[in-house]
Structure 1
Amino acid sequence: MNTCFLGELISECSLSFHIVEVQQSLPIKSLSCKLVGKRPALSLEAFLRDHYLSGIPVVIRDSMDHWPAKSKWNDMNYLRRVAGFRTVPVEVGKNYLCPEWKQELITFSEFLERTRSNDTTSVETTYLAQHQLFDQIQELRQDIVIPDYCFTGGGEIRSLNAWFGPARTVTPLHHDPHHNILAQVVGKKYVRLYSASLSDELHPHSETMLSNSSQVDLDNIDEKEFPNILDLEFQDCILEEGEMLYIPPKWWHYVRSLTTSFSVSFWWSDAEKLDD
């Protein structure tokens, strides 16, 4: 990475950890090609015109300051008080494509303890991933607000999910069928995005259940099996606390937590797709 770009990146992200350490933990070429654009307090008109209709990702700043979650979810005691006794499904292991990956049912208090311990022990990474936690715990649902952007296109919310875990949790390269706003409430995440037009080059799994997931492991790329993968164009970013990332339908994305992280994803459909 050239020094000019490095200086720009540090200023852009206001990283509280050393940039070299971040680079060493990320896939090849990360943060050296094209950064996802960041726009403050993006108007609905501009979002519709510049991103929704054109299918271009964007990071939206300054649109979550009114969320109660912004001041509450950094407090483990608060989370334990409102949700500690509830049972939640968690993922254990690197990610769902790895053979050693498994799922468990544990209390939210136990999950919080594992999250705390992950930074200091060899406890296997435990991730509360794509869980409808807010249907289960109304106190947490009241801490967030559905972004107005999610009503673009006259559709409706299809899914509202929580993503909560320690640093180094990974969601492997995959795509989703709906429009997606990923709201970063606590911590930081690295996100890499590939256009939907590159689907064939990203080698989706042939199994029906995994057909939206790539065979390419960006953390350990097999250049013999996938010789052209490093030549494919992508966009990426570090999603900061208080920022939202718009991911258009079918765009491939890889996500890695850089710190303890609590995110919320909002999926929604266009009006004409409500019957899908």
Structure 2
Amino acid sequence: MVLLLGTPNEGIARAADLVAEQLSKEKDSRDVNEPWEDDKKDFEGWKNFESVEEVECPALETFWQKYMWKKAPVKITKSVEHFPARERWTMKYLLQVAGQRTVPVELGRDYTHPHWTQQLMPLCTFVKRHLLESSPVTGYLAQHSLFVQIPRLMDDLLIPDYCTSTPDINIWFGPKGTVSPLHHDPKHNLLTQIRGHKRILLFPPQEEGLYPFSKECLMSNTSQVDPENPDSEKFPEFSSAKGLSCVLGPGDVLYIPPKWWHHVRSLSASLSVSFWWE
């Protein structure tokens, strides 16, 4: 059960890490390809959206006063270069540490699609099917607290000083083309890119042309509009919505304030970590 779900008991969790790593070595010790291809033509700006402001490793007081308290998004560069994960997280390393651990994989275009589902599988199966091979169905290890399940991986991260309280930490890991539909969250978020590239589209909380699902729906924090292919007949006001765009590469961090709408697309195989705090 600890191998499957993790445990708050650190001693037992560390023992499970050792067992899982040994199982992974016995299962498959071959080298694997690194799938983090870079297709530069996809990394250009998006339509006529303005770019998110970009700053290099701002001082804490600057970040808190200029961005966090004002709830303004910002792209931060060169603030996570000291994270061991930046060099250590190769595909071979991830499979050695976590290959035999069971994880919940999202299957389908995104969670708004009627055929979207989830399936439990070993991480090595997910990697083989959806990153190293060409699967007809998109698989995404999305918003999973892998670092509670596998403390060994948390050793490769540090909590950014910009967080003003203990954050919830989740992983986002998948092939090129994975999408998080346009939605908003109630917490501050530092979306930290470890491998690959992602494009994010953002809209302020007061934007009225986004057509969220009804408040009675479980997806009331999600827009009905696909901003990449909007239906102008069903959602005519979206055409006047004003947004921002941003591309994250390895080592980049995007601060997403609470209630800011955001749509995320992986432009290559991608591995991100989100730090959410109140």
TM-score (norm 2): 0.83
Q: Which residue of 2 aligns with 1:17?
A: 39
Q: Which residue of 2 aligns with 1:78?
A: 93
1:156 aligns with 2:169: no
CA deviations on 1:125-154 (whole Å, 9 max, x unpaired) are: 100000000000111111111100011xxx
Is this contact kept in 2: 1:31–1:237, CA < 8 A? no
Per the alignment, in what secondary structure is the counterpart of residue 70 of structure 1? helix
1:230 to partner: Cα distance: 1.9
Q: Which residue of 1 aligns with 2:11?
A: none
Is this contact kept in 2: 1:176–1:250, CA < 8 A? yes
1:32 to partner: Cα distance: 2.7
Q: Which residue of 1 aligns with 2:56?
A: 40
Amino acid at match of 1:213: T
**1:54 alignment partner, one of 45, 49, 70:** 70
Q: Which residue of 2 aligns with 1:266?
A: 275
CA deviations on 1:47-71 (whole Å, 9 max, x unpaired) are: 0111011111001110111111000
1:30 to partner: Cα distance: 1.8
Return the alpha-carbon distance in structure 1 between the equivalents of residues 178 and 272 of structure 2.
12
Is this contact kept in 1: 2:213–2:219, CA < 8 A? yes
Per the alignment, in what secondary structure is the counterpart of residue 264 of structure 2? strand
1:203 to partner: Cα distance: 1.0
Amino acid at match of 2:162: Y
Q: Which residue of 2 aligns with 1:10?
A: none
Q: 1:126 to 1:233 in 2, by over 3 A?
A: same
CA deviations on 1:68-119 (whole Å, 9 max, x unpaired) are: 100011x21111110011000010010000011110000011111123235x
1:22 to partner: Cα distance: 5.3
Return the alpha-carbon distance in structure 2 between the equivalents of residues 219 and 34 of structure 1.
16
Return the alpha-carbon distance in structure 1 between the equivalents of residues 95 and 156 of structure 2.
15
**2:264 alignment partner, one of 229, 239, 255:** 255
1:220 aligns with 2:233: no
Is this contact kept in 2: 1:91–1:103, CA < 8 A? yes
Return the alpha-carbon distance in structure 2 between the equivalents of residues 131 and 94 of structure 1.
18
Return the alpha-carbon distance in structure 2 between the equivalents of residues 58 and 115 of structure 1.
31
Amino acid at match of 2:95: R
CA deviations on 1:179-233 (whole Å, 9 max, x unpaired) are: 11000011100000000111x4211111431100001112321000111212111
Count of residues paired in the alignment = 241
Return the alpha-carbon distance in structure 2 between the equivalents of residues 112 and 16 of structure 1.
18
RMSD between aligned residues: 1.6
Q: 1:56 to 1:239 in 2, by over 3 A?
A: same
Unaligned runs of 5+ in 1: 1-14, 24-28, 270-276
1:248 to partner: Cα distance: 0.4
Q: Which residue of 2 aligns with 1:126?
A: 139
**256-265 vs 211-220, which deviates more?**
211-220
CA deviations on 1:236-261 (whole Å, 9 max, x unpaired) are: 11111101000000000000000110
1:41 to partner: Cα distance: 1.1
**1:205 alignment partner, one of 196, 199, 213:** 213
Unaligned runs of 5+ in 2: 1-36
Return the alpha-carbon distance in structure 2 between the equivalents of residues 167 and 215 of structure 1.
23
Is this contact kept in 1: 2:212–2:223, CA < 8 A? yes
